[in-house]
Amino acid sequence: MFFNHKPIKNFMVDGLIKDEATVPRLKEEYIRLLIVQMKETGYVPRIDIEPSFTLDYNSEKESFNFKLTVYGIFVGRKKTEWIIAVDGSRPISLQKSKLKEFSSDQESPLSQR
């Protein structure tokens, strides 16, 4: 599997944050949400490229405008089940034992009847 020259796609969200104290927590939440969105479309994050986060104070609204971009590459929807990220050209995979736990956790309650 080669990841060296795959195109990098930007996954972006922007918005408004009212309380400065919530900025770090919300930034992490939005990163997690973008990664979920990525994986649903067959992409995984490139962890060797830091997410880009900008914050500007809007004095009229007494709030912060933000923009967050997370970078990913396409590996395919099925491969996102076991590739959690790519570091440069190396995929980072779930361990086999973790993969078995994950797949058994994903069984629906209806199939267990």
| pLDDT higher than threshold 50 for residue 13 | yes
> What are the structure tokens assigned to 70, written together?
């997370």
User: Which tens digit of pLDDT belongs to each residue from 18-61?
Assistant: 999 999 999 999 999 999 999 999 999 999 999 999 999 999 99
pLDDT value of residue 113: 36
Q: Which of 107, 72, 110, 109 is nearest to 92 (CA)?
A: 72
Which residues make beta-bridge pairs with 43? Answer: 74
Which helix (H) or strand (E) element contains residue 54?
strand 52-58
